[in-house]
A = this chain, B = another copy of it.
Amino acid sequence: MSSSLRPIAPPTSLMEVTVDRIRDAIIAGELPLGCKLSEQRLADMFGISRSPVRDALAALQMEGLVTISPKRGSFVFTPDLKAVDEICEHRCILEKAAVRKAIAINHAGLIKSLTAACKTMTEASQRGNALDYTKGDIDFHNSVIRSGGNHSIISSYKRTIGPLMALRTHLFTIMNETLERSMNEHLALLDACRRKKIEDAERLIDEHAAHLVDAYRTALAETSLFDGLSTGAA
């Protein structure tokens, strides 16, 4: 109750927070796959003008989360099976290159960040919280990439896995089956990194990616059953 008359003093631009809000809504499943994203509707939903919404949609297209058809509108990106395969293959290539470099030039930082991520995942696993586990999972893979130190790859990786974001939510439902195996795979990779076994680390990344493809394909198959166009729930 001081002199701060401005409860919301956004240091970042309105467009930036709009990007975050739409991205969160997509990841949370409030804006389902293939959902039409009307500029006017989103503007009304957030109580702002169409301009920042338009800029935000362009930025999200850059991240691979939405697709924009000229003169037709924006839609939540829906990857098909082929796209999932290609994205996972691409992701696997980047991770293997990053882990190889990280072990060589940034071993301490790699182990530290990977250990922290594994700690988060272990705790979430014990509590049976798939959402927190997945956040730790994302942290783990981001740590691998970031430890590689190549900024070009870091930014590319972010855009690469973007199209899979909308599938993440549906991955939670089947995660329980594969959670234990996933946990063991991450721990094995951490161990290989700690012992600087590059060959083993790359092999483990390959195997992990293969399992990930299966999970995403299953999630995609489930979501395709809906096949409906929802307007998005509150």
Contacts and interface: CB of A to CB of B under 8 A. Distances in A.
B90 A13 contact: no
Contacts of A12: 70
A86 interface: yes
Interface stretch (A149-157, A180-188, A206-214): A149-157
A152 B86 contact: yes
A54 B152 CA distance: 24
A89 interface: yes
A116 interface: no
Nearest to A58: B58
B150 A70 contact: no
A12 B117 CA distance: 46
A13 B55 contact: no
Contacts of A86: 150-153
